[in-house]
Amino acid sequence: MILPGVRPAWGRGGTSLPTEAIRLPRPAGERVIVSLCYGRRVPHPALELASVSKSFGARRAVDDVSLEVAAGEFVAIVGPSGSGKTTALRLIAGFEQPDAGAVRIDGRDVTALPAERRDVSTVFQSYALFPHLSVRDNIAYGPRVRGVPRAERNRQAEELLELVQLPDAAGRRPGELSGGQQQRVALARALANRPSVLLFDEPLGALDRTLREELQLELRRIQRETGSTFVYVTHDQDEAFGMADRLAVMREGRIVQLGTPSEVYDRPADAWVATFVGDGNVVPGVFVGPVDGGTDGEVAADTDLGRLTAARAAPGLAPGARIVAVARPERTTFAAGGGADGIPAVLDDVVALGPRTRLTARTAGGTRFVSIVPREEFAAGVTPGDQVRVHLDPASLAFLPE
Ligand code: ADP
Ligand code: MG
């Protein structure tokens, strides 16, 4: 099946196969599937970081980071400000030299190569277009430097402008375009180089929310249609979750978790990841071990709020270890009134989120819980200040290393 809108022209080696072919189930045989798309074997990842480190003075900005990105894959590097995302990207691009480790692109060691000799293009938050050149000449700049004849590079520029949905902008100057339009031009210019890997550093950070959401969808579409390999840095976890095939979660220079969005959301590596990627309800405690006589792998932990049981614990937890119990707000419910079961708390706040309602409650000891439930499941009579009992669904509760 060929999907409407699939454009063979811009993939490396011609990705004329449908998007579905690129997205066949992973990970088994992923590289083989990708190689079939290109009609040749691709023995290497498009990008590989091998134990890369980079310090500035005493500060380890990137600390022993390893990462493989397959051809045609969209990987987001996500983490709070200062976690090393930009430095990681600059090491890939060749704007920084690592103190240790290697950078490989299409299997070739480029660690010692300057930026202009690496097969990558970067899209920055600041667009970085040439203000005195037309949009067409901005896009055709890379091809011109490579000696592509004028007619050919202009034709490519027009095609790329169609791809980024700016068909009439060729003759205009960047200064005549809005921020969102300039970022589309910057993307077209990066694609014109047909790099092995496209790098993005918070490319939508300067745009307002509506435009940002629109461009997120656009970027994802273009990445799929072109079969390009994207490494996309953002501090915005919603953006990363909505766009990427896999996330690399960075904290203090290290990748603390690497996985698909659902792996990271449903099985966060630790309490820090759990709270970074969403409103995790977190209760500290001590790991007890398997529930007595438990046959289905249930485990228990003792907390200030009593004993909690969960469907699973992180691998390697020993009895007595300090843990945090993490429950997603979608799996946390508040029951009205008193009663013996659940954790007693007082309802704090009720906020309507379209079809869902977000509730918060607080225990006498100050632990805060968030519950997100379909609007119709929330008892209408309950108002802030009322007693509730907090239920953490054992099937989705996890005990993670502190
Ligand atoms: P992020 O992009 O995740 O916000 P950065 O990679 O920019 O993080 O920065 C990681 C750490 O390295 C920060 O502590 C930052 O201050 C430091 N750092 C980054 N670049 C430099 C530099 N050129 N000189 C000194 N310190 C730097
Ligand atoms: Mg940054």
Write the pLDDT tens digit of every residue in 258-288. Answer: 999 999 988 888 889 988 987 789 999 999 9
Residue 79 in contact with ligand 1 by CB distance below 6 A: yes
In this prediction, residue 379 carries a pLDDT of 65
Residues whose CB is less than 8 angstroms from the CB of residue 75 and which lie 6 or more positions away in sequence, other chains included: 67, 69, 230, 231, 232, 244, 245, 246, 247, 248
Two structure tokens written together for 358: 């977000």
122 CB within 6 A, ligand 1:
no
User: In angstroms, rounded to a whole number, what is the distance separating the alpha carbons of residues 124 and 305?
Assistant: 47
Distance CA 69, CA 310 (A): 34
**Tens digits of residue pLDDT in 117-162:** 999 999 998 888 999 999 999 999 999 999 999 999 999 999 999 9
DSSP code per residue over 352-397: EETTEEEEEEE-TT--EEEEEEEGGGS-TT--TT-EEEEEE-TTT-
Task: Give the distance (Å) from ligand 1 centre to CA of residue 182.
Answer: 26
Confidence of residue 6 (pLDDT cuts 50, 70, 90): very low
User: Ligand 1: which atom is nearest the Cα of residue 90?
Assistant: 6
Q: Is the pLDDT of residue 383 over 60?
A: yes
Smallest CA separation from ligand 1 atom 26, residue: 56
What ranges do the domains of the chain cover?
Answer: 8-38, 47-266, 279-401
How far apart are the CA of 87 and the centre of ligand 2, in A?
A: 7
The DSSP bridge partners found for residue 357 are 352, 373
Characterize 38-60 residue by residue with b for buried, 16 or more Cβ atoms within 10 angstroms of its Cβ, and e for exposed.
beeebebbbbbbbebbbeeeeeb
CA of 87 from ligand 1 middle (Å) equals 6
**Average pLDDT rounded to a whole number, residues 156-178:** 94
Q: How far apart are CA 248 and CA 78, in angstroms?
A: 6
- Ligand 1 site, residue 82, Cβ cutoff 6 A: yes
Cβ neighbours of 27 (radius 10 Å):
9
What number is the average pLDDT over the span 20-46?
A: 47
pLDDT of the residue at 352: 87
- Residues 224-256 have pLDDT tens digits of 999 999 999 999 998 999 999 999 999 999 999
Q: What is the pLDDT of residues 317-374, one digit of tens each?
A: 899 999 999 998 999 999 887 777 889 999 999 998 888 899 999 999 999 999 999 9
Which distant-in-sequence residues (6+ apart) come within 8 Å of 140 by Cβ? Answer: 148, 150, 153, 154, 156, 157, 192
Q: For domain 279-401, which architecture applies?
A: Beta Barrel (2.40)
Least confident of 38-47, 88-97, 213-222: 38-47
Pocket test residue of 49, 55, 59 for ligand 1, highest count of atoms within 8 A of CB: 59
Whose structure tokens read 């589309």? 184
**Using a 6 Å cutoff on CB, does residue 89 contact ligand 1?**
no
> 52 with 23: CB under 8 angstroms?
no
The pLDDT, as a whole number, for residue 12 is 42
pLDDT at residue 14, rounded to an integer: 38
Please count the residues of the chain.
Answer: 402
Q: Closest ligand 1 atom, CA of 253?
A: 10
Coil, strand or helix: which one is 49? strand
Architecture of the CATH domain 47-266: 3-Layer(aba) Sandwich (3.40)
Q: Which residue has the tokens 């990705």?
A: 15
- Residue 8 has what pLDDT? 36
Helices 209-226, 179-192: inter-axial angle, 10-degree rounding: 20
* Upstream peptide bond of 27 is cis (omega within 30 degrees of 0): yes
pLDDT of residue 125: 87
Residue 59 C-alpha to ligand 1 middle, in angstroms?
Answer: 8
Cβ–ligand 1 contact at 83 (below 6 Å): yes
Q: Give the residue, by CA position, lying nearest to ligand 1 atom 22.
A: 56
- Measured between alpha carbons, how far is 92 from 118 in angstroms, rounded to an integer? 9
| Distance from Cα 23 to the centre of ligand 2, integer Å | 29
Nearest CA to ligand 1 atom 6: 84
Q: Which two tokens stand for residue 249?
A: 């979660």
The stretch 294-311 carries a mean pLDDT of: 86
Q: Is 130 in the pocket of ligand 1 (CB under 6 A)?
A: no
Same CATH topology for 47-266 and 279-401?
A: no
pTM to 2 decimal places: 0.82
Site to substitute for ligand 1 among 78, 86, 95, 122, most atoms within 8 A of C-beta:
86
Give which of 224, 248, 236 is closest to 89, Cα–Cα.
248
The H-or-E segment that residue 336 falls in is strand 332-336
**Phi, psi dihedral angles at 119 (to 5 degrees):** -90, 60
Q: Which pLDDT band holds residue 292 (cuts at 50, 70, 90)?
A: confident
How close is the Cα of 137 to the center of ligand 2, in Å? 29
